[in-house]
Amino acid sequence: MTTADRKPRVFSGIQPTSDSFHLGNYLGALRQWVAMQDTADALYCVVDQHAITVDHDPKVLHQRSRASAAQLLALGLDPERCTLFIQSQVPEHAMLAWILGTETGFGEASRMTQFKDKSAKQERTTVGLFTYPVLMAADILVYQTDQVPVGEDQRQHLELSRDLAGRFNGTYGDTFIVPEPYIVKETATIKDLAEPEKKMSKSSTSPRGCLYLLDEPNLMRKKIKSAVTDSGGEVRYDMDAKPGVSNLLNIYAALGETTVGKLEAEYAGKGYGDFKGDLADVVADALGPIAAKTREYLADKAELDRILTAGAEKARHLAARTIAKAYKRIGFYPPVAL
């Protein structure tokens, strides 16, 4: 099969930095991961190696990695239609990251905006955090990835991956596919329920600001009903003048598979109470089954580990071929098979 005949290969990863993904993760990226299984040769990864670039508890990291994988399966990732694995189970990521690190200029790495943002929030800044984008490039290039789903906050990292692939190819010979951005269907950014001027995040200053996929349904309803709205009771979309209700309209439209315009018409003449009560049910009905399914996967540790091991074996089969080629190009001896 030629490159033109096969499905495009897509790679994406998510960090296990909390006990649960939140609604912004789901609507902004993870729901698109599920859809891409049918149109791409998709590899999805829990990037636990990236998670240790900041202080962490090893036991908590291990638990969160398993919980992250269980949530991805509960959301609809199918091991028969995609490759799902834990990053640290595939050592070729780190092997390639070292090679790419020798191709990355210090100034080039220091310009990465996420390093500046994250290092400013920490007392101790590590070399690992500084070279985080190089490992991300290795994640992508080691699978000969054609397309990478990226949001605006990751676009700079993808450009580094493209630059490093082109640079290596130009110096040592054709080795890596130069990946292209995969533009997913545009989705509204989900805002904090308590502070709708901010993006929803696990670092929310209010416990009710972030809606987690593993929240109990009654807690989900409570968070929606107590979400900040705006003065006046009109259910109308205006992100500048009415950011609170506009954020809730975006959530309703996304989970209810409708449009903001239809919702505005439906709730014309009704108040926030009716709107938020109905939205609370929509959220609980949509996300409640995900939490239940996640618990089922976590309850069967042997089956979950079997799925992840099988995924890692598939991923290593692809990654090992790239490493063999890169090692030969760079002048290394080939890795010794175990």
Residues 79-104 have a mean pLDDT of: 97
Give per-residue pLDDT as tens, 122-157: 667 788 888 999 999 999 999 999 999 876 666 778
Contacts of 312 by beta carbon, 8 Å cutoff, 6+ apart: 85, 86, 89, 90
Give, for 11, the enclosing helix (H) or strand (E).
strand 9-14
Q: Which residue has the higher pLDDT, 3 or 206?
A: 206
Query: What pLDDT is recorded for position 37?
Result: 95
**pLDDT band at residue 116, thresholds of 50, 70 and 90?**
low
Query: What pLDDT is recorded for position 285?
Result: 96
Give per-residue pLDDT as tens, 189-227: 899 999 999 999 988 888 899 999 999 999 999 999 999
DSSP state of 187: -
Query: What pLDDT is recorded for position 112?
Result: 79
Residues 147-174 have a mean pLDDT of: 89
Query: What pLDDT is recorded for position 117?
Result: 66
The string of DSSP letters for 17-41 reads -SSS-BHHHIIIIIHHHHHHTTTSE
Closest CA relative to residue 83, chosen from 134, 21, 143: 143
| CB neighbourhood size of 102 (10 A) | 9
Query: What pLDDT is recorded for position 31?
Result: 93
- Catalytically annotated residues: 118, 199, 202
Give per-residue pLDDT as tens, 289-307: 999 999 999 999 999 999 9
Residues 281-286 have a mean pLDDT of: 96
CA gap 320, 328 in Å, rounded: 12
**pLDDT band at residue 121, thresholds of 50, 70 and 90?**
low
Is residue 64 over pLDDT 80? yes
CA gap 329, 168 in Å, rounded: 9
Is residue 1 over pLDDT 50? no
Is residue 2 over pLDDT 80? no
Is residue 252 over pLDDT 50? yes
Residues 252-273 have a mean pLDDT of: 94
Give the rounded percent of residues in the chain with a pLDDT score beyond 70: 93
**pLDDT band at residue 186, thresholds of 50, 70 and 90?**
low
Give, for 311, the enclosing helix (H) or strand (E).
helix 301-330
Residues 47-73 have a mean pLDDT of: 95
**pLDDT band at residue 237, thresholds of 50, 70 and 90?**
very high
The mean predicted confidence, pLDDT, of the chain is 92
Q: Which residue has the higher pLDDT, 112 or 313?
A: 313
Q: Which residue has the higher pLDDT, 1 or 167?
A: 167
Is residue 3 over pLDDT 60? no
